Amino acid sequence: MSYRIMCIDMDAFYVSVEQSFKPYLKHRPLAVGGNMDRGVICTCSYEARKYGVYSGMGSAVAKSLCPELVFLPVDIQKYSIVSKNIFSLLSKMLPKLVVSSIDEAYADITDIKMDTFQLIKKIKYVIKKYFDISCTIGVGPNKMTAKMATTVNKPDGYYIVDNDLAVSFLDSFPLSKIWGIGASTLNRLSEYGIFSVYELRTYGKENLENILGIHGKKLYNAVNGIYEEDEAVKLSNKSISKATTFEYDISSKQELYSYMYLLSEKVSRKLMDNLYAAKVISLTLKTYDFEYKTYRKTQNKYFFTHDDIYNYAKQLFDEHNAGKVPLRLIGVGVAGLQQVDDSFYLYFTDKS
């Protein structure tokens, strides 16, 4: 069966949200995060990028490159609300939408009868009309191809990869640019003489699995344009998780704890909205060099509260010394779900 997977990637999301609230900042070099004297930029407008400014750059250096640069503080709560509203609206158009981060989502559009180009136009129109934000959309036979397609015509563009051209499309990228391949994976592959996407693809599934484990199998399928059901879809009735991708690498434990606290609140709300309690806590991380790590732990009791989820996730984080390297993404999840009724929540709330 042939699949069509869509990746919807918001353009310079934090900046775009600020500009939608403050239209007078449009078309100006703008940075979110840091200030004129110190700190690090989270993200910047495309006007600022023309001066050589980029995410993760020190504020002072950015200001020297672009004296007209305007700095704004990070307002993660505002960005989260806008993100939730955008993807909530899109889910009405795209039934199989899976939100992967604060500014990105994937959708299986295989069964949608509308012409792909017309669907893309509609999505971009709706986001622009109701939120005054642009996005770039990629479409391909799997998530890897769709994700890489969003890099072709940014910002405010789109790119459609035909199924029979997926392999040659992915072969055109340097191995270091392929989604999911970080510095340590690159080094590991180089030990086996793999320096290109073509060499990765032709090395063989079993050989890659021997080198990289399950990640090797997933990479093989991805660069061969093979569709794999999204874990978030496959496990949608068995687990609940929330994640956020940072615009810059974060190494501060306190800052990471703050994000975990917000995510735990969202997971707790989703549990209670669907009348579930959980037995397993999970923590997902993406490091600065784009390596994914997931930790899980089964608790000795069912839990559902915001505080329990946060405390269990924090314990996992600390047990694995997860903050020893800068992180680009963090996610909190629960599994081992058990259906409960309202009295379960009332009983434990009263006890506490």
DSSP one-letter code for 58: B
This model's pTM is above 0.85: no
Report the number of distinct structural domains present in the chain: 3
Q: For 269-284, how does the pLDDT look when each residue is reduced to its tens digit (9 = 90+)? A: 888 877 788 999 999 9
- Are both 202 and 107 inside the same structural domain? yes
- Are both 61 and 150 inside the same structural domain? no
Q: Which domain holds residue 270?
A: 237-351
Helices (H), the chain: 13-21, 46-49, 59-65, 76-93, 116-131, 143-149, 166-171, 183-190, 197-202, 205-212, 214-223, 231-234, 253-273, 306-319, 342-351
- Are both 105 and 195 inside the same structural domain? yes
- Are both 292 and 186 inside the same structural domain? no
pLDDT value, residue 115: 95
Question: Which CATH number belongs to the domain containing residue 71 in this structure?
Answer: 3.40.1170.60
- Are both 198 and 82 inside the same structural domain? yes
Nearest-angstrom CA–CA distance, 53 and 64: 10
- Are both 192 and 324 inside the same structural domain? no
- Are both 241 and 158 inside the same structural domain? no
User: What is the tally of helices (H) and strands (E) in the chain?
Assistant: 15, 13
- Are both 174 and 200 inside the same structural domain? yes
Residues that are catalytic: 104
pLDDT value, residue 340: 74
- Are both 90 and 218 inside the same structural domain? yes
Task: Report yes or no on 109 lying in a domain.
Answer: yes
Over range 209-225, report the average pLDDT: 88
**Is a pLDDT exceeding 50 seen at residue 237?**
no
Chain mean pLDDT for the chain = 88
**Is a pLDDT exceeding 80 seen at residue 238?**
no
- Are both 127 and 214 inside the same structural domain? yes
